[in-house]
Chains A and B, each alone.
Chain A
Amino acid sequence: MDFTNANCNNGEIFMFQSSSPPKLVQPTPPPPSVIHKAKYKRNSISKNPEEARQKRIELDAQVRRKHREQLITAKRIKHNLDAYKDDDAESEFDLTHHDIEKLKSGLNDSNRDSRLSSLKDLSTYLADPPDTLKHFVINDNCIDILIKFLSGADPEEQLQATWCITNIVAGPKEFCQKAFIAIPHLITSLRGGNISLQDQTAWAIGNLAAEGPECRDLLRSNGVLIPLIELLNSKNVSIVQTTCFALSNLARGPNAKLDEFFSAGITQHLLFYLGTDEMNEVVSEIAWVLTYLTSSEDDKYTQILLKEGIVPLLVKHLRPFNHGPLALPLIRTFGNIASGPDENTDILIQQPDFLPAMLEYIQSDCRPVKKESLWVMSNITASRRPEVLIKVFNAGFIPILSSIATHTNFDIRKEAAYSLLNIASHGEEYMKPLPHQDLLPGFLVFIRSQDIDLIRLGLGYVELLLTQVQNGQQLLEQMQGIDALESVTSQEDPSLRDTSTRLMDKYFGEDFFNTNITEIQSTE
């Protein structure tokens, strides 16, 4: 090894400087081999009498400490220490009933400043409500007071009250249900012209929508969609982001009534934000909305978006995300699209930049991005059209997928293996050119694993190898593939057992062994 920046390399004496004494004398670690030897077959038995005695003395000290603690605590308990017990879920805030009463009277105070400061206190406490405050929200008139503020005329008070609602609906279920009666007032706020209030309200609605299907139905039946989608006309980044958050939550689940989203004209807004280059900050949020719109069982929503030409706009945004987590919703949207009919896949791969970008994404350092990109590719390679596969081949996916499928973590390998197996099962001409020398060891590890999916993938590959590749059988023998197949025979799953037995019988059955035995005999 040679370090070019070393001062001297020509046989002269290299002069070192001296050091100053250390400030803190650190204990010297024992030499590594001493440490490691002590760890060899480590168990908790004392290694010698002295160590055993040290343990006993330490235990004695512990017992003594415990007894002393019990005694002094007992003297305190005489004074009712039990009353000071509390549970672990206790709030940071310590509010007595008296404090709550003070808060209430502050909220009803005639002075605007004290009302506002009480509202601010309330929203702070609501972030981590103590029991007394929970009681105020659930069993007392907290929500009524807040609604009064919402329907009032003071914009600052409305905003602070909406903050409180936002925190309430982010809380436990019974909190959220209590706040249902505020929904009409919130929708009124959405339609108003106050930007900060709209932003805060959209946030509260997003939290409500996350609560569950019942709450989403309630919001929709109160007509939340139209004013919410109209907010997308705003050119304020924060509002657009918050609105997308609310829309994403509303579009969740199987009965999301997506028709209403489309009839309210969501498509043009999505296209606008994807098309413009002015608001890149909102692209990720927009894409989250798209992941829900494209994930529906019914492909018709995806078809609407495809017809409107959404794919080129999405592909355009693949590049600037640098493979980070912001790209996740984009990738997932592509995966959703590709899981539809083959025509969808065609649209994707016709974009010249799509496959090259995906090739980079499947090599991302960000694990979820890498995994979902591989999932996209398994959807793409499932296409029944040869030209798709040829494009995948030509874009250089095979070596990369092969390397991923044989290295790294199993969950990632599995995803890459799906793509490879998809490709291979399209016929001999696709199976043959794969780098079997590298792939086989990887798939054999799958077979030896304990994961049923992995075993199935491995067996699928081996079967193709045996049936479609000329020297497949030979290759398998060289790499102890038979051992691997044999290991499956102890698996519980009957279909796996059958497959491996069938393969062994067919290719390495009696005939095979007989030939081998004769060979050995003939060499003798």
Chain B
Amino acid sequence: MLSIGELLANTLSGDQQTREDASRQLEQAQQTNYPAYVVMLCQELSNEQTETFIRNSAGLALKNSLVSSEASRRNEITQRWLNMDEPTRQQIKQAVLATLGSSDQRAAATAAQVVSAIAAIELPTGQWTDLMKTLLENVTTTDNSQLKIATLTAIGFVCESIDSDILAAQSGAILTAVVSGARKEEPNQEVRKAAIDALYNSLEFIRENFDREGERNYIMQVVCEATQSADVNVQVAAFECLVRIMQIYYDKMRFYMEKALFGLTVLGMKHEDERVALQAVEFWSTVCDEELELMGEAAEAQETGEQPERLSHNFAKAALPEILPVLLWLLTKQEEEADEDDWNVSMAAGTCLALLAQCVEDAVVAPVIPFVENHIRNNDWRFREAAVMAFGSILEGPEHKLLANLVNQALPVLIDMMRDPSPQVKDTTAWTLGRVSELLIECIKPDVHLHPLITALVYGLKDSPRIVSNCCWALMSLSDQFGSKETPQPTYHLSTYFEGIITALLETTERSSNESNSRTSAYECISILVQGAALDCFPTIQKLTFTILDRLDATISAQNQIVGSDERLAHSELQSNLCSVLTSIIRKLRTEVVPFADRIMTTLLSLFQTATKHSTTLEDGFLAVGAITTAVEGDFLRYLEAFAPFLYGALSNHEEYQLCSIAVGLIGDICRALQEQSLPYCDTFMNVLLQNLQSPVLNRNVKPAILSCFGDIALAISGRFEVYLEIVMLVLAQASNMRATDGVNLMTNYDMIDYVIALREGILEAYVGIVQGLKTGEKADLLMRYIDQIFNFMNMTWNDQEKTEIIIRSMIGLIGDLAEAFPNGQIKQWFQYDCVTQVLREGRSNRNLPAGTREVTRWAKEMVKRASQ
């Protein structure tokens, strides 16, 4: 038997067999005796005599035994550690902490990761309470720089990996350690860098410290001083901190802006090191983010006649004359061959300029235009690209009438530039044309600009992948602006070009690769064009239907030849794209699709037969089936027998919750299409749905849709719903008991609030369907037993602060439906509930409610009046 050190060394061997053997033996050791395994690893890690690479891999193995990204596995790992006896754990923790001081830097850094992994398990359970004290001493009472760096790194990991609410109680010690390491008095710049990195990770849970002026001042002072460090790495880290601080603590920044930040960041943008300049630009983008949000809040407050809670300091407006020239200059610092994943200073400047334009609105125009005019015809592609970028960036924010003239003059120039020799210039030009189409459609004169514009964009579809994407977007925007997604117009501005554009897009999709998302973009563009099309484009769309079906059939027969996971993924993506175009076509053609419904369903059914259980193809295929139900209505019965097995399969596939959720919605669609013809299937539907509600594995977000689905079924089979009434009412009563606030510790979170709202929307839809269904079946009397339950639910929902327009709208409808179901005063005492009067008043006066609410309210009021006599 090899020693653990030898085994660890072997895991890094060049020989595959040796490597695999070693890994297997280590895994076995872990399984058989976990405490012994971790103690051994820990000894290797802390042994100063061991070689660095072995210490490092021992530490990593130790860490890996303590963390997992899977939630279920995490729980198991946590218990395994906590089940070890106290002395063993103590021994490991001591050794790991001691290793932080090792002169072997790699070993110390690995130990820092282990500290954080153990802390992530123990701190939430209230153990290892002296950890922070020890770490704090490490930083404040020693001159050992290596120890300080490793300790601060450990603190940084801890801050990154543990929930804010657990760390808040430790924030004093954490901050004291971190800030003392970051001070300018600290001579070792690596220590300062580690400290500032840790500070970055702690910024979120130190809100209370930031509320205290003295502490805040000190933190700000230390960070600002660090921007002046001689070491550029420290400067970058300090600027990163400033960006995050601005994001989280904007409200408190006025004083510091005036005192220092304004000057520091304007200088920072001109810094010779691009990383510093990038962060300084990010700082101003963040200022704009915050101020845009505040502008939104202010507008909202004004609408409701209230005072906004927080006010904008208008930093961006004040800084405009200083930062704008620098941003424009930075736009010209593009990299020759920027990768899509790159994030460099000229890209950041572009985003910043766009945000700035939204923030300062009209004021941005006059200073930017000379830059555009002076450089758009420059010989250097960098200046041309920067000029177009600047122009495209300021199109959102300033008033249209200020831009209209400029855009009008620019359009012919931009259209010409789609033939620029530089791909970067073409890409940005295509994007700018997309922006114009999206934001300033009134500037595109159909008789003047449309022909050259579409010609240029279609030409761009033959260009490199990245340009394709932006050309698609521009075409989509044109379709959105000129077309109509609801009732089709007889003809529209794109009618003459429609077939040509579709043909060009289909050619683009025939390229073998999806580089830069170009193929997906082209398919998405086809979908959008179909959605907005006019009646005179229907012949082209019918032709398109067969092309798409042929392509889909081809992918199905190619299914068997696929090897490797990458290829499978690409294949399923392609099928998804084709299905999504198909769905758009079916929704658009509605009844005109009926003649091809058999062909479409045949293809879809064979697609479901060949699709693997986990592929996303099923999801998109189901969406197409949903569209078919609406188009063929009662005729769907022809396909249901064949389709039902796939539907049930998806409903019981709880791991794929998204697919399951679509399947639930599809039951509703089928019931709406078939009406009482769905009766023979309803027992199975109801059973599957009730099982899903009880499933502990199924993602909870599917559950509200199931409740709505009960309503859909009741609407379809009316009086026959009687048999399910008792169980469904019980389920709805249980669902009504869900609260976002847990009474014990008053902790609540946004996910939970959203979930409860979704449940209540679902409950209301269920009640509406059931009341209407039973009333149609003349069985409303069965509801008498549940009137109390329904009104109590409405009362509670109305009195909860968290409610949506959809909830209010549904409640109004439900009140009217109940009043109509009991017109002779049987339930008139319930209509005297305050909430009934209040919700009806809200329906009349609140103009934010969905369209048609006022009519429904008047109707409901009338019904209530009648039912109360």
Contacts and interface: CB of A to CB of B under 8 A. Distances in A.
A40 B347 contact: yes
B355 A21 contact: no
Interface stretch (A60-68, A105-113, A242-250): A60-68
Nearest to B715: A71
B291 interface: no
A215 B749 CA distance: 62
B769 A14 contact: no
Contacts of B817: 72, 76
A84 B855 contact: yes
A21 B176 contact: no
Interface string A28-61: 1101110111011111111111001100110011
A86 B858 contact: yes
A17 B172 contact: yes
Given A64-B669, A76-B816, A33 B747 contact: no
A353 interface: no
Given A28-B204, A40-B347, 20 more contacts: A3-B221, A15-B172, A16-B209, A19-B172, A28-B164, A29-B247, A31-B244, A33-B343, A36-B348, A41-B428, A43-B434, A43-B469, A45-B472, A46-B521, A72-B768, A72-B769, A86-B854, A407-B321, A410-B366, A449-B366
Given A45-B476, A76-B859, A67 B630 contact: yes
Contact of B173 (A18, A39, A67, A409): A18
Interface stretch (A5-13, A183-191, A268-276, A359-367): A5-13
A487 interface: yes
Interface residues of B, number: 122
A28 B374 CA distance: 43
B209 A60 contact: no
Which of A11, A16, A56 has the most CB atoms of chain B within a 10 A radius of its CB? A16
Interface of A: 1-3, 5-8, 11, 13-29, 31-33, 35-37, 39-49, 52-53, 56-57, 60-61, 63-64, 67-68, 71-73, 75-76, 79, 81, 84-86, 90, 92, 407, 409-410, 445, 448-450, 483, 487
A32 B524 contact: no
13 contacts: A1-B260, A3-B220, A15-B172, A16-B206, A17-B172, A19-B169, A19-B206, A25-B163, A29-B247, A40-B351, A68-B668, A68-B712, A76-B816
Contacts of B620: 53, 56
A27 to B, nearest CB: 6
Contacts of B260: 1
Contact of B859 (A6, A40, A84, A90): A84
Contact of A18 (B171, B220, B768): B171
Interface in B210-268: 212-215, 217-218, 220-221, 224-225, 243-244, 247-248, 259-260
Which of A25, A33, A35 has the most CB atoms of chain B within a 10 A radius of its CB? A33
A18 B169 contact: yes
B576 A49 contact: yes
A68 B524 contact: no
Given A56-B620, A407-B321, A445-B367, A19 B665 contact: no
Contacts of B140: 13
B197 interface: no
A5 B520 contact: no
The 9 closest A-B pairs by CB, nearest first: A19-B208, A18-B172, A84-B858, A16-B175, A21-B165, A1-B260, A3-B217, A43-B473, A19-B168
Nearest to A408: B363
Contacts of A22: 164-165, 168, 205, 207
A413 to B, nearest CB: 9
Nearest to B174: A16
Contacts of B747: 23-25
B527 to A, nearest CB: 9
Given A57-B623, A75-B776, A76-B816, A29 B248 contact: yes
Contacts of B272: none
B715 A44 contact: no
B813 A72 contact: yes
Interface of B: 140, 163-166, 168-173, 175-176, 179-180, 183, 185, 204-209, 212-215, 217-218, 220-221, 224-225, 243-244, 247-248, 259-260, 282, 285-286, 289, 321, 343, 347-348, 350-352, 354-355, 362-363, 366-367, 369-370, 373-374, 405-406, 428, 431, 434, 438, 469-470, 472-473, 476-477, 517, 520-521, 524, 573, 576, 580, 583, 587, 616, 619-620, 623, 626-627, 630, 658, 661-662, 665, 668-669, 672, 708, 711-712, 715, 746-750, 765, 768-769, 772, 776, 813, 816-817, 820, 845, 852, 854-859, 862
A6 B168 CA distance: 22
Contacts of A71: 672, 715
Given A15-B172, A22-B168, A6 B217 contact: yes
Contacts of A90: 854
Contact of A445 (B362, B370, B669, B862): B370
Which of A6, A21, A25, A36 has the most CB atoms of chain B within a 10 A radius of its CB? A36
B672 A36 contact: no
A218 to B, nearest CB: 38
Contact of B856 (A19, A23, A76, A448): A76
Contact of A32 (B289, B517, B750): B289
The SS class assigned to the B binding surface is helix
Nearest to A27: B750
Contacts of B476: 44-45
Which of A19, A23, A32, A53 has the most CB atoms of chain B within a 10 A radius of its CB? A19
Contact of B672 (A49, A67, A76): A67
B710 to A, nearest CB: 12
A33 to B, nearest CB: 6
Contact of B524 (A40, A52, A85, A449): A52
Given A19-B207, A44-B473, A14 B176 contact: yes
Contact of A24 (B428, B438, B749): B749
B569 to A, nearest CB: 9
A450 B370 CA distance: 11
A420 B599 CA distance: 79
Nearest to A4: B217
B165 A445 contact: no
A18 B215 contact: no
A36 B476 CA distance: 24
A6 B583 CA distance: 64
A92 B816 CA distance: 21
Given A64-B668, A79-B820, A81-B855, A17 B212 contact: yes
